[in-house]
Amino acid sequence: MKYPHMVTIKGFASQWSILTELTPDAAADMRHDGLDVSRVFNAVPKWVADLGLARPWCFAGDLLAFRNPFRS
């Protein structure tokens, strides 16, 4: 299964971040090659952050993604 990841590429004068979907194996391979790869759990739109609602946005996203651990 693919998950959203942020890949950071550092050049001589600049640094770029790319948001992409990767499998855990692909992310591990990129880390092994020296890239900075981080898994993204919550993405917040700029307008939500500007209104100061980032924490409630992330909380609501976590509630919607909740899976019952007791479900078989």
What percent of the chain stands above pLDDT 70?
96
| Number of structural domains in the chain | 2
Based on the domain organization, do 31 and 65 belong to the same domain? no
CA-wise closest residue to 22 among 7, 5, 38, 37: 5
Based on the domain organization, do 2 and 19 belong to the same domain? yes
Based on the domain organization, do 36 and 13 belong to the same domain? yes
Based on the domain organization, do 3 and 35 belong to the same domain? yes
pLDDT at residue 37, rounded to an integer: 97
Give, in order, the Cα–Cα distances in Å from 29 to each of 2, 18, 32, 33.
14, 16, 5, 6
Based on the domain organization, do 4 and 35 belong to the same domain? yes
pLDDT at residue 71, rounded to an integer: 72
What percent of the chain stands above pLDDT 90?
69
